[in-house]
Amino acid sequence: MFIVESYVTAIVFCFITMLCWGSWANTQKLIQKTWRFELFYWDYVIGIFLFSLASALTLGSLGADGRPFIEDIQQAETANMLSALIGGVVFNLANILLTAAIAGAGMAVAFPIGIGIALVLGVMWNYFLVEKGDPVSLFLGVLFVTLAIVLNAAAYRKSRPAQQSSGSKWIIVSVVAGVLMSLFYRFVASSMDLENFKAPTAGMMTPYSAVVIFSVGILLSNLVFNSILLKRPLEGPPIPYSKYFKGKISWHSIGLLGGCIWALGNVFNLIAAGKAGPAISYGLGQGATLVAALWGVLIWKEFSNSPKPVNGLIAAMFCSFIIGLGLIIYSGGS
């Protein structure tokens, strides 16, 4: 199977993750006026599963190092498979809430708050799982990311004072999504032998196998979570299942594309975790917050016509994120 051999390559993979995790939501933004997010999300989840399986059957099965996908699944212990499955369930609940917040408040708000919180808490959980990297630089970087989250929330409140109550709801939804999002990676990482991808411990999985079981957890839990949301949506009227099958092929294709984009980032992130460590790999991947905020501000104009003080807060947010991500990168090479 393909294995990352150097820290520099691992960082490059983490930046690809950052771009993927920060950009997939654009697919939802493209069709949100004609296709409700609950319907989009079915295709998104299917896209994650299909891409994860394809990566396991290709990158995860070729080469002389490590265990090929089928062999690895056959020898995996039930406890490790269950851990990755639970990771998928936790992620799915978090991501459904985040997607709802994106539809309600925009990418420039939901991502910095939700994924920013996930970055802060997730780095801490994953650092204590495998203590790789300088803790001072790592947690100082997390501190700057926390500051960026606060600045973003303040900018949102100042830009939409007339929608204070509605805005507060989506901020709360984003916070809950972030807390849940911080937990999923630890379950997946715990199912793998992060110290040795070439000759992993018997019973543990390679990242390719773990990501497939993880995506199965997403797919199965979506039958429950999204079914509930169709009947009791966070916003808008209930939606019948039949409406999904009446959607245009182009709408379904965009949802599948969104899932594939996110899954590409996820596969690259877990591959990089063996060399960079889960805390740094996860932390840089969740730098997707910065990418999503740039999409929201520059492309979707989510803060257009805002008061002048808001522009200062947005600029300060970006600076804080950049400094924080730089410190996280430095922590792994020091």
Domain ranges of the chain: 7-333
Instruction: Give the pair of three-digit tokens for residue 274.
Output: 């063996």
The pLDDT value recorded for residue 170 is 83
The pLDDT value recorded for residue 50 is 98
* Per-residue model confidence as pLDDT tens for the chain (334 residues): 999 999 899 999 999 999 999 899 899 889 988 999 899 999 999 999 999 999 999 999 988 888 999 999 999 999 999 999 999 999 999 989 988 887 777 776 787 788 778 888 888 888 887 787 789 998 898 889 888 878 877 887 777 665 544 557 888 888 999 999 999 988 999 999 988 898 899 999 999 999 999 999 999 999 999 999 999 988 889 999 999 999 999 999 999 999 999 999 999 999 999 898 888 888 888 777 778 778 888 878 777 777 888 889 888 988 998 898 889 888 876 5
What is the DSSP-derived secondary structure letter of residue 298? I
Question: Rounded distance, CA 293 to CA 114, Å?
Answer: 12
Question: Rounded distance, CA 61 to CA 148, Å?
Answer: 41
Question: Rounded distance, CA 212 to CA 205, Å?
Answer: 11
SS3 of 301-329: CCCCCCCHHHHHHHHHHHHHHHHHHHHHH
The pLDDT value recorded for residue 267 is 96
Task: Indicate the pTM of the whole model.
Answer: 0.85
The pLDDT value recorded for residue 270 is 94
- Token pair 């972030």 is at which residue? 178
Whole-Å CA distances, 326 to 137, 145, 201, 221: 9, 11, 33, 36
H helix runs in the chain, sequence order: 7-23, 25-31, 37-57, 69-75, 78-105, 107-129, 135-159, 164-190, 207-231, 249-276, 278-285, 288-294, 308-333
Instruction: Give the pair of three-digit tokens for residue 258.
Output: 């969104």
